[in-house]
Amino acid sequence: MKQKNLGFNSKAVHAGTMDDVRNSAISPIYQTSTFRFDSADHGAKCFAGEDTGYIYTRLGNPTIKELEDAVAILENGYGGIAVSSGMAAVNTVYMTYLGQGKHVVAHNSLYGPSRGVLETIYPRFGITASFVDATDPQNVADAIQPDTALIYLETPANPTIGITDLEAVVRIARQHQIPVCVDNTFCSPYLQKPLELGVDIVLHSMTKFINGHADIVAGMIVTKTKEEYQKLRPVMVNMGFNMDPHQAWLTRRGLKTLGIRIEKAQENAIQVAQYLEQHPKVEWVLYPGLSSHPQYELGKRQMKGPGSMLSFSLKGGFEAGKRMMDHVQLALLAVSLGGIETLIQHPASMTHSKLSKEAKETAGITEGLVRLSVGIEEVEDIIKDLEQALLKV
Ligand SMILES: *Cc1c(COP(=O)(O)O)cnc(C)c1O
């Protein structure tokens, strides 16, 4: 059957599956660092690119390739590049497109280290960055400089759940011929396909929804074209950002249930968001599935569903945030997201504590902001847990 014509969940289960010589239902793990050549001539052809045979796992491996193909098919892209972590994906993109004298326009509310490296490490190599509120695309247009070499976005953004109009940003980027990269971690290809909206590069922390079981750290880059793929792949290979075959195998297994996990978590999140929105101790809730979200209509147009990530602000501020964290019982007090279990964290005292007060304010991170990654437990239990923790606030 042509895999191209299959629906999402069918692709999630079957896409990219290798032809195993022993007909195993589940692909084996090629837990090997290196591959034997048939002859000197074969080895020479592999190195010359005239034979697709594998050489060395940092360069490529069948188990890793299966995962790369599967995610690329789900994102509707040309090819996937699997890496050891989400940050390895982010840095592969930065290192490919940025260099001495180059400039990046990035959303102001990014995953902490995605912004942090641009502020602390890349300036040492002569690279500058402007952080703007990309939820208004005009801000992106205004920040473009002659040496801007990359536009880097997250939508919905972490942890403010702000939504950026990808088609609008792509139109601006095209005028200047600047590649656009979107961190699609919060949505996964189940909810959002940025490449179909004109974006050039998508990346994932597969640690989150794609693996989905909080037992792997992994990353992936998918490009729309062969040209971008060929720019990125050697950077990954030569920087040593590669994945391990066992990590790839487990991630491929997690990916199979991506659609049904997101559906269940989303169903729960809609009810949790409605519950929180009417709670007297909660100032506001940011969730793309609530009509109170400032970009509710854009979210509906751009995403297949509102997902399972939400943020809310406690009226009691910083101390209330910390007290709530100390009293949750079912929800795990932990960073990360997109797993089958409900996770809760307090950005002001945790993930975003290193940001200056001003940076927190411009990024919309209030002192009482709580970020919730809703899991697939029974929704009654999740709400009961939040209820008892909020009583202690
Ligand atoms: C977790 C995360 C990353 C980093 O991924 P790691 O796998 O932890 O390296 C990047 N972007 C987003 C949006 C994330 O949530």
Residue 2 — pLDDT band, cuts 50, 70, 90? low
Question: Would you say the CB of residue 217 lies under 6 angstroms from ligand 1?
Answer: yes
* 160 and 12 in a common domain: yes
Is residue 59 pLDDT above 60, yes or no?
yes
- How many domains, in total, are found in the chain? 2
Question: Would you say the CB of residue 219 lies under 6 angstroms from ligand 1?
Answer: yes
Is residue 1 pLDDT above 60, yes or no?
no
> Would you say 205 and 196 are in contact if contact means Cβ atoms under 8 Å apart?
no
Is residue 362 pLDDT above 80, yes or no?
no
* 232 and 104 in a common domain: yes
Task: Compute, in angstroms, the gap from residue 153 CA to the centroid of ligand 1.
Answer: 13
Could you report how far apart the first and last alpha carbons of the chain are, in Å? 56
Write the DSSP symbol of residue 59: T
> Which domain-ending residue is among 198, 223, 255?
255
> Which domain-ending residue is among 255, 287, 314?
255
Q: What is the average pLDDT across 223-235? A: 98
User: 78 is written with which tokens?
Assistant: 């040309």
pLDDT digits (tens, 9 = 90+) for 30-51: 999 999 999 999 999 999 999 9
Active site residue 183: yes
Write the DSSP symbol of residue 1: -
Least Cα distance to 253 among 203, 217, 219, 211 occurs for 211
Top mutation candidate among 91, 187, 201, 205 for ligand 1, by most atoms within 8 Å of CB: 205
pLDDT digits (tens, 9 = 90+) for 313-343: 999 999 999 999 999 999 999 999 999 999 9
**Among residues 102, 115, 208, 264, which one is catalytic?**
208
Q: In the block, which residue shows the tokens 């995610």?
A: 71
What does the pLDDT read at residue 284?
96
Share of the chain above pLDDT 90, in %: 92
Is the model more confident about 351 or about 201? 201
- Strand-pair partners of 181: 152, 201
* 82 and 139 in a common domain: yes
The DSSP secondary structure of 111-141, one letter per residue, reads -HHHHHHHHHTGGGGT-EEEEE-TTSHHHHH
User: Range with the lowest mean pLDDT among 107-111, 246-250, 320-324?
Assistant: 107-111
Active site residue 261: no
> Would you say 259 and 190 are in contact if contact means Cβ atoms under 8 Å apart?
yes
* 228 and 334 in a common domain: no
350 three-state secondary structure: coil
* 277 and 250 in a common domain: no
Is residue 205 pLDDT above 90, yes or no?
yes
* 284 and 217 in a common domain: no
* 273 belongs to a structural domain: yes
CA 393 to CA 380: how far, in whole Å? 20
Distance from the Cα of residue 313 to its chain's centroid: 23
Is the backbone of residue 305 left (phi > 0), alpha (psi -120 to 50) or beta? beta
Question: Would you say the CB of residue 209 lies under 6 angstroms from ligand 1?
Answer: no
* 175 and 267 in a common domain: no
Domain holding 272, by residue range, is 258-391
What does the pLDDT read at residue 355?
79
Is residue 56 pLDDT above 60, yes or no?
yes
User: Residue 264 belongs to a domain with what CATH number?
Assistant: 3.90.1150.10
Q: What is the average pLDDT across 14-30? A: 93
Tell me the C-alpha to C-alpha distance, in Å, between residue 325 and each of 67, 279, 393. 36, 17, 10
What does the pLDDT read at residue 356?
84
Integer Rg of the chain from CA: 21
CA 221 to CA 204: how far, in whole Å? 6
User: Residue 199 belongs to a domain with what CATH number?
Assistant: 3.40.640.10
Active site residue 256: no
Active site residue 58: yes
The mean pLDDT of the chain is 96
What does the pLDDT read at residue 354?
81
Least Cα distance to 89 among 242, 264, 212 occurs for 242
**Among residues 54, 97, 111, 190, which one is catalytic?**
111
What does the pLDDT read at residue 351?
83
